[in-house]
Amino acid sequence: MNPLCSRCNRVVYPTEKVNCLDKYWHKGCFSCEVCKMTLNMKNYKGFEKRPYCNAHYPKTSFTSVADTPENLRLKQQSKMQSQVLYKEEFEKNKGKGFSVVADTPELQRIKKTQDQISNIKYHEEFEKSRMGGEGPPQHPQTPQQNTTPAYQPKAASQNYHYEPKPVHQAAAAPPPSSGKRYRAVYDYTAADEDEVSFLDGDVIMDVQQIDEGWMYGRVERTGQQGMLPANYVEVI
Q: What is the pLDDT of residue 168?
A: 41
Q: What is the pLDDT of residue 171?
A: 37
pTM of the model: 0.28
Residue 62 has pLDDT above 60, yes or no: no
**Among 63-72, 115-124, 175-184, 196-205, which range has the highest average pLDDT?**
196-205
**Residue 141 region by backbone torsions, left for phi larger than 0, else alpha for psi between -120 and 50, else beta:** alpha
Q: What is the pLDDT of residue 66?
A: 59
Q: What is the pLDDT of residue 201?
A: 93
Mean pLDDT value of segment 4-9 = 90
CATH number of this structure's domain 1-59, picked from the four choices 2.160.10.10, 2.10.110.10, 1.20.120.530, 3.40.50.150 = 2.10.110.10
Kind and range of the H or E run holding 147: helix 143-147
| pLDDT interval class at 226 (50, 70, 90) | very high
Closest CA to 2 of 22, 27, 16, 31: 16
Q: Which residue has the higher pLDDT, 182 or 103?
A: 182
- Topology of domain 182-235 in CATH is SH3 type barrels. (2.30.30)
* Domain ranges (residues) in the chain: 1-59, 182-235
Q: Which segments of 172-209 does DSSP mark as H helices, in order? A: none
- The residue type found at 62 is F
Q: What is the pLDDT of residue 102?
A: 59
Q: What is the pLDDT of residue 197?
A: 94
Q: What is the pLDDT of residue 115?
A: 84
Cβ pair 35, 18 in contact under 8 A: no
Cβ pair 57, 65 in contact under 8 A: no
The 8-class DSSP code of residue 212 comes to S
Edge-first strand order for the sheet with 203-209 is 225-229, 214-219, 203-209, 180-184, 233-235
124-167 residue pLDDT tens: 887 777 776 554 545 545 444 444 445 555 544 444 454 555 44
Q: What is the pLDDT of residue 202?
A: 95
